[in-house]
Amino acid sequence: MTGVAILGAGAFGTALSITLGALGPVTLWARDHDQAARLRTDRRNDRHLPGAELPETVTITAEIADIDADTVLLAVPTQLLDAFLSAHGAAIDGRRLVLCCKGVHLASGLRPSALVARFCPSSPLAVLTGPSFAADIARGLPTALTLATTDDGADLQARLSTPTLRLYLSNDVIGAELGGALKNVVALAAGITIGAGLADSARAAVVTRGFAEMTRFAVAAGARAETLAGLSGLGDLILTCTSEKSRNFTAGLALGRGMGLPDGITIEGVATARAVSVGAQAAGVEMPLTDMVAAVVDGRITVDDAAAALMARPLKKET
């Protein structure tokens, strides 16, 4: 059994299949037969990634039984991962699994790697994360990501790197996962700030204090602070807090403008804010910005009241 398969034909899964397909055969799994049939016929995924074409090296299937690869990239949204693994975990257990989803599972409060370990205990795990938009990867634009592994990942790093996709190796899976998850919460906060007309100075404060919260929470969970200062933390934070190509930032813009959350789009930062706010309180980790984002998305507080509450917090040293 050799080769690479990607499970999940959303924007990121499709983009990875395009860039990795330039190197050799790749199998792309779609969640249902209709989607797989459309992708096979059109060689495009205009719903998730308009304009990008799938190379002929990409084989598309809706059957897990067709996945004959020793390396499997999981590009299933975090909030759907539990159900996916419950249905298909046994079929992929023992393969090398690379998590490409970001967030914290709301129902369980677990990171994706912890969910995978429940259903696929024999699989070596890795996390692929960092500052990237699927459209940029699909177009072959230069992108650098973190590949965090639970074993010696040099061979995996070589296998998944391409001329336009540069991977930096790490052994801090917790830090890589939490960096990718928590930055979505801060991106929501940054979008809310701009959408509410609070301007760039306030956004800079939100991003900086948000990064402090990210680091504090991740270190308490067993991560290394330097991981958060890398691509999977700070790098991803910069990207998602400054671009309207970020779904979390644009969702925050809508909230700040009083428009509510957009329908039909996965906004991982929403569920992550809720899960992390609860988890941080249980662990005794102070995360005022995350708490306010959770309260705003749940409608428990207005944007104006959230901003006022944050500004009224007791004066303290910068940490």
Indicate whether 83 and 162 sit together in one domain.
yes
- What is the pTM (predicted TM-score) of this model? 0.94
- Give percent above pLDDT 90 in the chain: 91
Distance from C-alpha of 319 to C-alpha of 301, rounded to nearest angstrom: 26
pLDDT one-digit tens code per residue, 155-196: 999 999 999 999 999 999 999 999 999 999 999 999 999 999
Indicate whether 162 and 203 sit together in one domain.
no
Record the tokens describing residue 10, joined without a space: 């959303």
For residue 225, what is the domain's CATH number? 1.10.1040.10
Indicate whether 30 and 162 sit together in one domain.
yes
Indicate whether 201 and 132 sit together in one domain.
no
Record the tokens describing residue 267, joined without a space: 């906004």
Indicate whether 141 and 159 sit together in one domain.
yes
Indicate whether 125 and 103 sit together in one domain.
yes
Indicate whether 62 and 211 sit together in one domain.
no
Distance from C-alpha of 307 to C-alpha of 232, rounded to nearest angstrom: 27
**261 in any annotated domain:** yes
Indicate whether 151 and 201 sit together in one domain.
no
Record the tokens describing residue 244, joined without a space: 């309207």
Number of domains in the chain: 2
Indicate whether 9 and 108 sit together in one domain.
yes
The mean of the pLDDT values for the chain is 95
**317 in any annotated domain:** no
Which of 171, 190, 223 marks a domain boundary?
Answer: 171
**318 in any annotated domain:** no
**57 in any annotated domain:** yes
Indicate whether 122 and 18 sit together in one domain.
yes
286: how many CB neighbours lie within 10 A of its CB?
A: 14
Span 99-112, average pLDDT: 94
Helices and strands (H, E) in the chain, number of each type: 14, 10
Any idea which residues carry the catalytic annotation?
A: 183
- Give percent above pLDDT 70 in the chain: 100
With beta carbons less than 8 A apart as the criterion, state whether 59 and 25 touch: yes
Where does the chain have alpha helices with state H?
11-21, 33-42, 78-92, 112-119, 134-138, 154-160, 173-195, 199-220, 225-228, 236-240, 247-256, 268-283, 288-297, 303-311
Distance of CA 279 to the CA centre of its chain: 19
**307 in any annotated domain:** yes
**316 in any annotated domain:** no
93: how many CB neighbours lie within 10 A of its CB?
A: 15
Which of 142, 171, 200 marks a domain boundary?
Answer: 171
Which of 171, 186, 214 marks a domain boundary?
Answer: 171
Compute φ and ψ for 213, nearest 5 degrees. Answer: -65, -45
Q: What is the pLDDT of residue 48?
A: 87
Q: Residue 45: which of 33, 34, 54, 56 has the closest Cα?
A: 54
Order of strands across the sheet that contains 4-7: 58-61, 26-29, 4-7, 71-74, 96-99, 125-129, 143-149, 165-170
For residue 130, what is the domain's CATH number? 3.40.50.720
Indicate whether 95 and 242 sit together in one domain.
no
pLDDT one-digit tens code per residue, 30-50: 999 999 999 999 999 988 899
Give the residue numbers spanning the domain of 107: 4-171
